Amino acid sequence: MYLVPLYFVPGPFVLYFAMIKFPVPDDSCEYFDKEHETMTREQIETLQVERLRETVQRCMNNPIYKQRLEEAGVTPESINSVADIRRIPFTTKADLRDNYPFGLSCVPLRECVRLHSSSGTTGNPTVILHTQNDLDEWANQVARNLWMVGLRPDDVFQNSSGYGMFTGGLGFQYGAERLGMLTVPAAAGNSLRQIKFMKDFGTTALHAVPSYVTRLYEVMQEQGVDPRRDTKLKVLAIGAEPHSEEQRQRIQNMLGVKAYNSFGMSEMCGPGVGFECKEQNGLHFWEDYYIVEIVDPETLEPVPDGEIGELVLTSIKREAMPLLRYRTRDLTRVLGRTCPCGRNHVRIDRMKGRSDDMMVLRGVNIFPIQIEKILMNFKELASNYLITLTTDQENDNMTVEVELEELFTDDYGRLESLRKEVTRQLKDEILLTPIVKLVPKGTLPVSEGKAVRVVDKRTVYQ
């Protein structure tokens, strides 16, 4: 694809020829990878069929996939349209766990150059292998995203995300380098140092989980640092954990810059799978790399665009461990398939949550994000909150603890009426009455990685 010849002449009669993969486009170009980013729907589907065939062929190298595909009567030649993907059986996290660590690999281990392991948001580890090409393509996806929101080689990119097994660190690192920015691999935590780096190195773009960005801002306030005045920040990439639109707005207001939602998961590579463009009207999922389906989690049948269902992804350009129809457990919907930015890659709504994050309390289904969006609308409340579920005399209860903005008030009457109003609005949203506790700022635990929003202490799990 990006193979372009580069000629240069160091001596008068010598012509050297080199092949450069993934060149960085001209600064003025709107797209990092124009050819793929601006494909028409027809072109996307033609490429998807071709790559799905190749992927099925590749999966035949793996005995587990081979047996499943044979049982379903699927061969590469039998795939003639994107809809044919529905003939392929689903893959689940349990498949990865049952075949831990390398059982779903499609290449010999000697062809792999890295693995990432995810404890997942929900338990046992899974392992994902990468060939060098997988890593190159992954970096290309991330570079594409960062370019899309206006970052260029002159920018300074600080990655305040955990490095190591968590893909947010190395994933963004290689992508930002591919784009050609000066990178600051600050990793997560140590907020004072983060702020010093931002000021000293002229950081213009920051990547972190949303809950950490709010923490960073609190430390800035404590230190008398005004991000608008004292930093050169212009873009934030936030993701890796569910967050509400209200939380995003709050982050944008705090730091005075646009915050773009970034979706990724280790099983597909890591960050880079989906990212918002400047329109901020949903995440473009890169359909030259993935086939995106939204299915009803019960019937596993596709749901119409606009309806919420489970996100199912098939990686169609990966070598070491492509996943066929992987059930992500993330709940979302298709918002559209065109965009004023010129990219026709499907636009996916921000995640409503994971089906395994759903709390069932007295028969009512509740997602943490429903609670977050109410809390974030109160300017008297800070950004950190914790939901605790308990059983008291056979009744399940929910307690929502939320930190107060420091400068608000210590007037008991005002606090009590605020607490009542928060309780009322939460009840309207989740249809049952939680116990609301307003606590001083800095009381609730802060995580450097993905925030833990729910603690389930119920004696009988539902």
131, 214, 231, 266: which one contacts ligand AMP (CB under 6 A)?
266
Query: HSE (CB half, 13 Å, CA atoms) of 272?
Result: 31
277, 312, 323, 418: which one contacts Zn ion (CB under 5 A)?
277
Q: Could you report how far apart the first and last alpha carbons of the chain are, in Å?
A: 50
Residue 264 interacts with ligand AMP (CB under 6 A): yes or no = yes
220, 225, 351, 387: which one contacts ligand AMP (CB under 6 A)?
351
The letter for the amino acid at 218 is E
84, 241, 405, 456: which one contacts ligand AMP (CB under 6 A)?
241
Residue 248 makes CB contacts below 8 A (sequence gap 6+) with 210, 238, 259, 261
Specify the stretch interacting with Zn ion by CB under 5 A; choose among 165-173, 179-187, 273-281, 411-419: 273-281
62, 118, 158, 244: which one contacts ligand AMP (CB under 6 A)?
118
- Which CB sits closer to ligand AMP, 241 or 405? 241
**H or E, element range at 404:** strand 395-404
- Which CB sits closer to Zn ion, 49 or 339? 339
Specify the stretch interacting with ligand AMP by CB under 6 A; choose among 227-235, 259-267, 296-304, 395-403: 259-267
Going from the C-alpha of 325 to that of each of 39, 98, 315, the distances in angstroms are: 23, 17, 8
Residue 330 interacts with ligand AMP (CB under 6 A): yes or no = yes
> Which pairing describes strands 205-208 and 182-184: parallel, antiparallel, or unpaired?
unpaired
341, 366, 376, 426: which one contacts Zn ion (CB under 5 A)?
341
Q: How many CB atoms lie within 10 A of CB 132?
A: 13
Q: Choose the contact partner of 120 out of Zn ion, ligand AMP, none; CB within 5 to 8 A by kind.
A: ligand AMP
Asked if 347 and 336 touch (Cβ cutoff 8 Å), the reply is: yes
Specify the stretch interacting with Zn ion by CB under 5 A; choose among 212-220, 279-287, 301-309, 348-356: 279-287
Residue 259 interacts with Zn ion (CB under 5 A): yes or no = no
Asked if 320 and 129 touch (Cβ cutoff 8 Å), the reply is: yes
Residue 171 interacts with ligand AMP (CB under 6 A): yes or no = no
Q: Choose the contact partner of 390 out of Zn ion, ligand AMP, none; CB within 5 to 8 A by kind.
A: none
Query: HSE (CB half, 13 Å, CA atoms) of 380?
Result: 14
Asked if 56 and 69 touch (Cβ cutoff 8 Å), the reply is: yes
Listing DSSP states for 282-304 in one string gives SEEE-TTTEEEEEE-TTT-PBPP
131, 145, 158, 167: which one contacts ligand AMP (CB under 6 A)?
167
Site residue total, ligand AMP (CB under 6 A): 18
- Which CB sits closer to ligand AMP, 231 or 262? 262
- Segment 302 to 331, residues that bind Zn ion, using CB under 5 A: none
Asked if 402 and 385 touch (Cβ cutoff 8 Å), the reply is: yes
Interhelix angle for 245-255 vs 368-375, to 10°? 40
Q: Choose the contact partner of 149 out of ligand AMP, Zn ion, none; CB within 5 to 8 A by kind.
A: none
For residue 368, is the peptide bond before it cis, meaning its omega torsion is within 30 degrees of 0? no
Determine the Cα–Cα distance for residues 143 and 281; give it in Å rounded to an integer: 20
Specify the stretch interacting with ligand AMP by CB under 6 A; choose among 30-38, 189-197, 235-243, 377-385: 235-243
Residue 389 interacts with Zn ion (CB under 5 A): yes or no = no
- Catalog residues that contact ligand AMP under the rule CB under 6 A: 118, 120-121, 167, 239-242, 261-266, 328, 330, 351, 354
- Catalog residues that contact Zn ion under the rule CB under 5 A: 277, 279, 339, 341, 343
